[in-house]
Structures are given as structure tokens and as C-alpha cells.
Structure 1
Amino acid sequence: MSSLILTHTRYQFLEQLRVPIAIVAGVFFPTISMLAFVVPFAGHDPVTATVGTASMTLFAVMSSGLMGLGIGVADDRGKPWDPYLRTLPAGPFPRFAGRMLTSLAVMLIAVVPVVLVAAFLTEATATPLQLLLGLGALIVGALPFMMLGLLVGYSLPAKAAIAVSQVLFFPIAIGGGMFGNPMDPPAFIGAVAPYLPSRGAMELVWAATTDFRPEPLPLVTLAVWTVAGAAAAVWAYRRDEGRRFR
């Protein structure tokens, strides 16, 4: 099973490298957001710069997970190779795992420029242990967005997946307080943020990289979105399989 997962991961990552626009976009937008929102407004203070950097790394993870997977899976479903792979006896798990590992690799690539901007242009600080814990928190925080990406990809055709993934991404990011002052958000955002996975993921990364103590509700919300997203992604895969291969 592990060799099948690695085979799918290698194949899908090579596909990403052959058409690297998704990687370029995944690197470009978080880095530009870091330069626009964090460096000029929070870069002079170590704590706010570190919190802002953590939020921008999550922005990179969210876009790669939700939009990258959603659009990529929907595009693959429209190609002749996808139905052939589904006829093989390995089952869906190696493909699911391969997609998620490929998405994680793209996420890590997208995070690197954000961290470099923070290191050279802000006063953000983190110990090696905090960086390692932050990486683990990013991976956990990425899970609900990867599940949502799989749900979109297996539910919609490619053109619709592009629009729907963007429509989902930006309200979740903005509603979680990602583009404002997360410590002092407007009243509306403060009311809805604890119920969005972006807020729980941000608080998890903040806790890993600073002395911030997360609230219980956003973390519970993050777990609920992850489990519900996984169930919905599996349902969408089986529904798509039933429609196309019955």
C-alpha cells in the first residue's frame, strides 16, 4: 500500500511540475499578501510580525488545499486517464493519499517565500522548535481545506470548481480575520470567526510559534470541519463513481 501511495504522489507531483502555474500562483499570492499586509503594518513588532507571518503561511496552505485540490481534481476527472485509474483494483485510498501528500508538498513550497520575507523584512522571531511545531500545526490546519478541495473537485466540473473554490476560499479567509488585525477584529468578524476553520487553524499556528493561548471553541470548530469535510469528500467520491461507472 505504501508503495502505491508513493507512486501516486510521485506521478501527481510530476504533473504539477509539468504545468507549474498552480505552484507559481500558490507562491505569488501569499508572498504579495505578506508584503502588503504584514511588512508595512506589523513588521516592526516581533510579536505582531510573528502572528502575521503565521497567518500568511496559513493563507498559502488554504489556497493550495482548497483551490489547488478542488480545481486539480475536477480537471483530472475530465481526462480519459482518470476513469482508467478507477478500474484498477487498488481502491481509492492510494489516490486520496497521493493527492493529499502532493498538496502538502505544494503547500510547503508556497510557505518558504513567506518565511523568507519574514526573516529579512520583519522583526518576526521563532526558535527552531517553534518552527517545527508551526509546521506541524500548519499540516493539521490544512486538513479541512484539503477535504473541502476534494469535495469541490469530485462534485463539480472543472469550470464550476474554479468559481466555487474561490467563492468558498475568500469568505472563509476574510471571516476568520486573516486580512485584518486578528487580535482586534471588527464586531461581525469577531462573531463569526470562531465558527470558521480558518480561525481555529490560525490559533493553532499562533500557539505553536508564539505564547498565544488558543480558545477552545475555534479548535473544536476546526476538528468538526475536518471530520465533516472528510465525510463529505468520501461521499462526493462515491457519488461520482456511482454516476460514472454504474
Structure 2
Amino acid sequence: MSLLLTHTRYQFLETVRVPIAVIGNGFFPAASMLFFVVPFAGDDPVGATLATASMMVFAVMSSGLFTHGLGVSEDRSQPWDPYTRTLPAGPWPRFGARILNALAMTLIGLVPVLIVAALFTEATVTPPRFLLAFLALLVASAPFQLLGLFIGYAMPPKAAIAVVQLTLFPMAVGGGLLTSPVNPPAFIDAVAPFLPSRGAVELVWAALGYGTPDTLTLVMFGVWTAAAAVLAAWAYRRDEGNRFS
């Protein structure tokens, strides 16, 4: 536990020392709130609440994919990373620290979304429901953190940034995060259940008291999470074998 906290503190300080990384983490979800939610659903309490939840999931996706996908890939290109991989502590302190650091960045990324929702929309939530939604967000982050780890361990930095962008935005759009949560387009409605972004947002909507997650959506969310875990473990072992065998 001591090593885990030490690695977490080191990685967090390393991240916040580059202010643009912290600013960028919350910029896209907050900008999406201003451009997509406030003008079209800001005056509707239900629509604004559901759309705010969608943007919170978008923030979770962005944080998991960028923090791991880019952070891990860039770390692998530095001399310090191979050295720490040779230490006898094992992979868990560093691996666990990456997850905790991504969760910390997620919390930072959620703040601008909540501020925009509070100031410019009619979104409402009770404290117990807000706590449930926060716990649902932790669960919802799993596939995106694992996908980010896979990208980070499998690809060099220049490739990782492109793959993260090609993963984040199609999943956000296809999962219905950037469209009306009440009346989505037919194409989005057909594609969304097969994407993890839809399962993630339906978990949060249910925690807020709006509906029950669809069975197919939950099954696909579990499939994506399991597949991402296998890919992340494979990429880690592959990187270890390529560089240390």
C-alpha cells in the first residue's frame, strides 16, 4: 500500500506539473456542455440532468483514454520507465497508481461539467442520487481505463494520440452522449447498445433515477470490459517481453 500511494503521488505530481494536461482534461466535456446541452436542453430539468450525466461519462472516457493511452505511451519512451520495471516491487504499485491517478484526473475533469450544469441549466439531483451516480461513474470508467492501458502499452506516442482520438469521439457519438438523451437519432439508437459508452451512461442514468439499463447494453458493457482487460494484460506482457527478455 505504501508503494502504491508513493507511485500515485509521483504520477499525480508529474501530471499536474503540465497545466495544459489538467486543463485539457476538463475542456472537452465542459465545452460540449456549453455547445450541446445548454442551448438545447438547459431549460428542461429532466433533459438537462440526463445530458449532464452524458457529459460526465464523456469526461470519464476522456480521462481514462488520454491519461493512460498517452501517459503510458510517453512514459515507456523515457529512461525512467524501464528502470522502474526492473525493481522487485512487481507491477501492481505502478499499475494501480495509474488507475488511481486516472480517477483523480477524472474528478478534476468533472468539476467544469458540474459548474456549467449548476450555473446554466435546470439540472437537479438529490445528494443520495448524486453519490450513487458518482459510484456508477467509477464502474463506468472500467472499460475506458483498460482500453487506455492497452493503447499505452501497445503503441508509441505518435500512434497512441491518433488511436485515442479515433476511439474517444466515435464512441461518444455512437453511444449517444452528444445527442439528445430523450429522442436520439434512429442510427444512434441502433448502434448505441453495442458500445461501452452506452452501457456506461445508462448505469449513471439509472443511478440518478431515470430508467433501467437495457439487458443487451449491460451485456455488451461487460464484454467490452472483459475484452479490454485481456488486451491490456496482453499489451503489458508483450511490452515486457519485447524490452526485457
Q: What TM-score does the superposition give when structure 1 sets the normalisation length?
A: 0.97
Q: Name the structure 1 match of 2:28.
A: 29
Partners of 1:216 and 1:223 lie apart in 2 by 11
Return 182-191 or 122-131, whichever deviates more: 182-191
Give the letter for the 1:222 counterpart: F
- Deviations 1:138-163 (CA, angstroms, capped at 9, x unpaired): 11111100000000000000111011
Q: Name the structure 1 match of 2:120.
A: 121
CA contact (8 A) 2:47 2:181 kept: no
Q: Name the structure 2 match of 1:213.
A: 212
Q: Name the structure 1 match of 2:52.
A: 53
Q: Name the structure 2 match of 1:66.
A: 65
Partners of 1:172 and 1:182 lie apart in 2 by 15
CA contact (8 A) 2:47 2:182 kept: no
Report deviation, 1:119. Answer: 1.2
Structure 2 residue 106 is the aligned partner of structure 1 residue 110: no
Report deviation, 1:66. Answer: 0.8
Secondary structure of 1:113 counterpart: helix
Report deviation, 1:185. Answer: 2.1
Unaligned runs of 5+ in 2: none
Q: 1:205-244 residue pairs with structure 2 within 5 A?
A: 205-244=204-243
Partners of 2:43 and 2:182 lie apart in 1 by 17
Return 206-215 or 142-151, whichever deviates more: 206-215
Secondary structure of 2:141 counterpart: helix
CA contact (8 A) 1:47 1:210 kept: no
Partners of 1:210 and 1:42 lie apart in 2 by 18
Report deviation, 1:132. Answer: 0.5
Secondary structure of 2:94 counterpart: helix
Q: Identity across aligned pairs (percent)? A: 62
Give the letter for the 1:38 counterpart: V
Unaligned runs of 5+ in 1: none
Q: Name the structure 1 match of 2:8.
A: 9
Give the letter for the 1:224 counterpart: V
CA contact (8 A) 1:50 1:210 kept: no
- Deviations 1:199-236 (CA, angstroms, capped at 9, x unpaired): 00000011111332221111121111112111110110
Return 181-190 or 87-96, whichever deviates more: 181-190
Partners of 1:175 and 1:182 lie apart in 2 by 12
Report the aligned-residue RMSD: 0.9
Give the letter for the 2:162 counterpart: A
Runs of 4+ aligned residues of structure 1 deviating over 3 Å after TM superposition are none
Report deviation, 1:195. Answer: 0.7
CA contact (8 A) 2:152 2:160 kept: yes
Report deviation, 1:183. Answer: 3.0
Q: Name the structure 2 match of 1:171.
A: 170
CA contact (8 A) 1:69 1:150 kept: yes
Q: 1:130-149 residue pairs with structure 2 within 5 A?
A: 130-149=129-148
Report deviation, 1:121. Answer: 1.2
Partners of 2:186 and 2:210 lie apart in 1 by 24
Query: How many corresponding residue pairs?
Result: 245
Q: Name the structure 2 match of 1:19.
A: 18
Q: Name the structure 1 match of 2:193.
A: 194
CA contact (8 A) 1:51 1:210 kept: no
Partners of 2:187 and 2:28 lie apart in 1 by 25
CA contact (8 A) 1:195 1:221 kept: yes
- Deviations 1:50-96 (CA, angstroms, capped at 9, x unpaired): 00000001111101101221001000000000000000111111111
Q: Name the structure 1 match of 2:96.
A: 97
Partners of 2:211 and 2:124 lie apart in 1 by 14
